[in-house]
Amino acid sequence: MLNPALKKPAIGDYDQTLAWISLILLGIGLVMVYSASIAIAEAGKLTAQQPAYYLIRHTAFLAFGIFLGTLAFQFPMRVWQKLSPMLFVFGAVLLVIVLIPGIGREVNGSQRWLPFGIVNLQPSEFMKLFVVIYAADYTVRKAGHMHSLCKGFLPMLAVMLSIGGLLLAEPDFGAFAVIAVIAMGILFLGGMNWKLFAGLIAMLAAGFFGLIVSSPYRLQRVVNFMDPWSDPYGKGYQLSHALIAFGRGEWFGVGLGGSIEKQLYLPEAHTDFLLAIIAEELGFAGVALVIGLFAWLVLRAFAIGRQAATLERYFSSLVAQGIGLWLGVQAIINMGVNMGVLPTKGLTLPLLSFGGSAIAANCIALAVLLRIDRENRQLKKGYAV
């Protein structure tokens, strides 16, 4: 029986292990972004040839992300559920705006950013969080129809295809893949009929194959991924240098700051290929530490989700597990790309890579996860939430 009079649980009443894992990953990211970006900052005109340019910006992104996370932590999960449709529509509108010529900013052939003075907003990063919240709310609302093709599956499919179309128009195939996995995973965890789920997997596989075959640059990426050494100075340049970085690192690395690949050899060393620099400077031990921390974070997310389900907080349960899916799948894809076991995609390593939108979205997601855990603890102790 809940006691409404008990409204102020202890300040430390949250998953401190999860908080520390998150802070350690953010800290590793800050150190490694600085190490990986010194050469490119010194060589770039836009960076005023200041070695600490990316360090200063990443520190500011972290501070802002933690501020947004602290703010997000204050909102009860019932508020997030109520706002879920509006957040999803807001994210979709941003994805439309970013495609408008003259508004969205194009970089390396992709139009994914909205310029706001000294910073750029990447709507697809926040859309990942909005899809987690919206899909969880949809699954709870449609719980009685999860075995129905027309009432349970097709409406969500139509919505996700529309979002996927906007992402592919940028193009941002990586974000589309992550969002598809998030939506599919949450529907499955919410009780979707296994036959429908199997059909969905088959449709997604066929769709991804069609997108790859129909796009010359995507097909070329797959071909180069299979044999990067066939064109090490051309299409296989990024992957071949990432593999060289892994090879140089061996067991314990060449030492922090000692990377050769970050000296303008490996493109995107401080963003998409940060793990390769970690491998070179910190070796197998550093990579294993990062993988272990991500595995621990994902396990905690699913444990929090299961606990919420036992307390009959099904929306919170699906949100927690959806966040775990998002961060885990994106980390796996990024690590796979860096190690040469997946084709190159423009996906950053969550919590570590340079990027303001990604850091902000990740911090908000972790704050929501901590909020779910705190409400679980409150309910178990008889507090009102």
Among 30, 34, 96, 41, which residue's Cα sits nearest to residue 63? 30
**Residue 203 confidence (pLDDT) above 70:** yes
Distance CA 180, CA 173 (A): 10
**Residue 187 confidence (pLDDT) above 80:** yes
Among 154, 125, 156, 118, which residue's Cα sits nearest to residue 138? 156
Q: Using 50, 70 and 90 to split pLDDT, how confident is the model at 219?
A: low
Q: What is the mean pLDDT of residues 148-166?
A: 82
One-letter amino acid for residue 311 of the chain: L
Q: Using 50, 70 and 90 to split pLDDT, how confident is the model at 3?
A: low
Q: Using 50, 70 and 90 to split pLDDT, how confident is the model at 107?
A: confident
**Residue indicated by tokens 């919590």:** 351
Distance CA 196, CA 186 (A): 14
Q: Using 50, 70 and 90 to split pLDDT, how confident is the model at 137?
A: very high
Is residue 175 a contact partner of residue 347, using CB atoms and an 8 Å limit? yes
Mean residue pLDDT of the chain comes to 88
Condensed to tens digits (0 to 9), the pLDDT of residues 57-105 reads 999 999 999 999 999 999 999 999 999 999 999 999 999 999 998 888 8
Angle, CA of 303, 345 and 92, to the nearest 5°? 70
The pLDDT score that the predictor gives to residue 1 is: 47
**Residue 7 confidence (pLDDT) above 90:** no
Q: What is the mean pLDDT of residues 256-262?
A: 94
Distance CA 149, CA 29 (A): 43
The pLDDT score that the predictor gives to residue 221 is: 66
| Percent of the chain whose predicted confidence (pLDDT) is above 90 | 60
- Between β-strands 105-107 and 119-121, what pairing exists: parallel, antiparallel or unpaired? unpaired
Condensed to tens digits (0 to 9), the pLDDT of residues 284-319 reads 999 999 999 999 999 999 999 999 999 999 999 999
Q: What is the mean pLDDT of residues 156-166?
A: 87
CA atoms within 13 A on the CB side of 117: 1
Write b or e for each residue in 287-301: b if 16 or more Cβ atoms lie within 10 A of its Cβ, otherwise e: beebeebbebbbebb
The pLDDT score that the predictor gives to residue 67 is: 97
Phi, psi (deg, nearest 5) at residue 107: -135, 125
Beta strands in the chain (DSSP E): 105-107, 110-116, 119-121
Is residue 112 a contact partner of residue 104, using CB atoms and an 8 Å limit? yes
Q: Using 50, 70 and 90 to split pLDDT, how confident is the model at 236?
A: confident
Q: Two tokens at 364?
A: 């908000």
Q: Which is more confidently placed, 213 or 157?
A: 157
Distance CA 27, CA 24 (A): 5
User: Which helix (H) or strand (E) is 106 found in, with range?
Assistant: strand 105-107
Q: Two tokens at 194?
A: 């296994």
User: Which helix (H) or strand (E) is 158 found in, with range?
Assistant: helix 154-169
